[in-house]
């Protein structure tokens, strides 16, 4: 008991506020079980559908030799489902504006970036839950993990960093548009190129040249490649580092850069 009191005494107010916001987000998600269920099960449904509809891709030119389509698709679906779930962060941000919660946060002695960080942690938790469920569904379809423990850990790191970037991106869209219905449509327009301008569903070598160039700027494409490499046991350090840097760059672009743009140095009148 004394140790707990000491820990509480030394914990900063920022930490307490962050914990309160994370708990609040998790409780809010749990209060809508239908949305929670669809968010967690949609990736499994897409995996089953895509693995059957596009499995003929494995017989085409440019497809990796000796790789089954389910092994090729599963790691990409981890990245794609993370992008899809990112739209939930945007809708949640918009709802916080419509019900006045963000105005309430602004009136409190609280760091302005804490709600966004709490939202990111919330998305990371659900990302790991979706990955577990997706893995179970993939195993039932014949998926096999060819990597080692290091590959599994590195894949989870890539996935969580991508989730943070997607949460920041769609959260920024929600903060700007501030209408849940509009955010859903805007999120779809952003989500589609992130998903399909990549090697998620077919090798990039089978796509037009301009799409290959665009994929080099797509953090989801790099994440899908790194995740696939770790699943197949063929990932390089460069693949993993590139995927993490691309996701962090997107996070910085939508989180740090707009904040710098709002900064105005004060001048002292003479």
Indicate the pLDDT class of residue 263, thresholds 50, 70 and 90: very low
Burial class (CB in 10 A: 0-12, 13-18, 19+), 94: buried
Two tokens, residue 115: 């709600």
**In the chain, where the domains are located:** 12-255
Per residue in 183-215, pLDDT tens? 888 888 888 888 888 888 878 777 788 888 888
The more confidently predicted of residues 90 and 11 is 90
Instruction: Give the DSSP per-residue string, 109-130.
Output: SS-TTHHHHHHHHHHHHHHHHH
- For residue 260, pLDDT beyond 70: no
Two tokens, residue 179: 């209408």
Per residue in 53-103, pLDDT tens? 878 777 777 777 778 889 988 998 989 888 887 887 888 888 888 887 777
- pTM > 0.95: yes or no: no
Dist CA 69 CA 73 (whole Å):
6
Q: What is the mean pLDDT of residues 12-31?
A: 79
């Amino acid at each position: 008991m004394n140790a707990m009191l000491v820990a509480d005494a030394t914990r900063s107010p920022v930490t307490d506020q962050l914990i309160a916001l994370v708990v609040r987000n998790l409780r809010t998600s749990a209060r809508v079980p239908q949305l929670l269920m669809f968010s967690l099960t949609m990736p499994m449904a897409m995996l089953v559908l895509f693995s059957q509809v596009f499995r003929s891709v494995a017989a085409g030119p440019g497809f990796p030799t000796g790789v089954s389509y389910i092994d090729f698709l599963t790691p990409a679906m981890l990245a794609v489902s993370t992008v899809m779930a990112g739209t939930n962060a945007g809708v949640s941000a918009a709802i916080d504006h419509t019900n006045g919660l963000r105005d309430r946060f602004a009136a409190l002695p609280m760091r302005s970036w804490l709600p966004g960080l709490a939202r990111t942690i919330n998305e990371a938790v659900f990302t790991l839950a979706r990955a577990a469920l997706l893995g179970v569904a993939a195993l039932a379809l014949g998926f096999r993990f060819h990597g080692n423990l290091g590959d599994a850990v590195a894949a989870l790191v890539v996935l969580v960093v991508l989730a943070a970037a997607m949460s920041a991106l769609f959260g920024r869209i929600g903060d700007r548009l501030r209408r849940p219905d509009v955010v859903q449509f805007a999120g779809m327009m952003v989500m589609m190129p992130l998903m399909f301008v990549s090697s998620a569903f077919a090798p990039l070598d089978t796509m037009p040249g301009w799409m290959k160039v665009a994929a080099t700027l797509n953090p989801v494409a790099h994440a899908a490649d790194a995740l696939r490499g770790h699943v197949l046991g063929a990932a390089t350090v460069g693949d993993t580092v590139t995927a993490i840097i691309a996701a962090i760059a997107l996070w910085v672009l939508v989180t740090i850069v707009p904040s710098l743009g709002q900064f105005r140095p004060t001048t002292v009148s003479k």
